Amino acid sequence: MEGLADRFEPALCDAYVRLFAGAVAQVNPAWDARSLVARYERLRRPRSVSGEPQRVFVLSRVTLGADVAVTSVLLAAARRRFPRAEIVFVGPHKNYELFAGDAAISHAPLEYPRGSLAERLAAGAKLQRIVDDSGGIVIDPDSRLTQLGLLPVCDEENYYFFESRGRGPATDLNLPELAADWAGQILGVQAARPFVALAGERQQSATIAVSMGVGENPAKRIPDPFEAELLSLLGQTGIQLAIDTGAGGAEAERVAWAIESSGVAAATWNGSFAGFARIIAASRLYVGYDSAGQHVAAACGVPLISVFAGFPSPRFFARWRPKGDRCQVIRIDRADPLETLARVREALFVNVPAPC
């Protein structure tokens, strides 16, 4: 199912709805597949929000990078459109931490299990109990909590669905731009942008923040010895490196090996992602694979070098790449370590003047 979504093709959105509606109905007979499909067809059509709701529930997309690139755009638009409403972020605590510094955004905790389909659907039932409120509306940014808009969680008139996978098929706009365009159409708010609101004061530091995380997708990695050579190259700038060790296990071991092999003295971070996001926000430069870190850097206006490999289709690359004058995105069609390192070196001269 994820493969259907990753290609950002409208026809595959239709295939997903037909297939997954049947799967959902098999797990829970209370839901009828035809009714789910018919509902989805109605709600995928954009319509403007009217009235002044007391609460605006904005659903998490569950993955951290998507909540920065997509959900934060809709949070920003909702704050501007409904200044007197309570704006509620619904999703995991680690995701909410990215916005906890904004007093205008409250939190309705909801974890998304990575177990069986029945366990995942149970999150939808919990979500319904949270949002089925006559005084509120729901903004769904194509969330896993609703199985990409398929599960009914409130009255249709109070539900607004951004079908990110099917929007703008003739364009190469990235997801923040598509979300902003949708927010303009639905909420009447123009030019909403991604943001993070981290608790505590933001302080600048002369560091290069580095992440070698790939989100359990090894296709995003460049083969050895790229990572060790990358750290060695970054170390030649004379700027302190701050490297995220990830979620532990194999990723932490890979990071430790790369640091040892590079011979670079680097600081490491092994805490929450929000904590590493604070490091990114304060840094002089961010370097990493396609991951949540690049979206934090872009949202914070931090220069970045993103090594973007392992994408399933050209449109996936177009949708997920960060854009901006300070974003150097290196598209990798052939994962050659030496060639990739040379391209990073070239981008590094653009972002960090006069490296050693």
pLDDT of residue 207: 95
Together in a domain, 79 and 214? no
Q: In what side-by-side order are the strands of the sheet with 55-59?
A: 105-109, 86-91, 55-59, 136-140, 159-161
pLDDT of residue 1: 75
Together in a domain, 252 and 133? no
**Tokens standing for 79?**
């704050």
pLDDT of residue 5: 85
Together in a domain, 180 and 83? yes
pLDDT in tens, 166-215: 999 999 999 999 999 999 999 999 999 999 999 987 677 779 999 999 98
Whether residue 17 lies inside any domain: the answer is no
Predicted structure pTM score: 0.95
pLDDT of residue 24: 95
pLDDT in tens, 25-37: 999 988 999 999 9
User: Whole domain around residue 98: which residue ranges?
Assistant: 45-187
pLDDT of residue 218: 93
pLDDT of residue 4: 80
Question: 11-30: b or e for each residue (b if 16 or more CB lie within 10 Å)?
Answer: ebbbebbeebbeebbeeeee
Total number of residues shown for the chain: 356
Together in a domain, 124 and 73? yes
316 alpha-carbon distance from chain centroid: 13
Residues of the chain short of pLDDT 50, as ranges, are 355-356
Whether residue 108 lies inside any domain: the answer is yes
Query: How many CB atoms lie under 10 A from the CB of residue 215?
Result: 16
Together in a domain, 218 and 100? no
**Tokens standing for 316?**
């996936």
- Is residue 230 within 8 A of residue 341, CB to CB? The reply is yes
pLDDT of residue 355: 43
Map tokens 């304060």 to a residue.
Answer: 282
What are the backbone dihedrals phi and psi of residue 342, each rounded to the nearest 5 degrees, phi first?
-65, -40
Together in a domain, 211 and 339? yes
Query: How many CB atoms lie under 10 A from the CB of residue 169?
Result: 12
Helix (H) / strand (E) element for 107: namely strand 105-109
The CA distance from 246 to 269, in Å, is 8
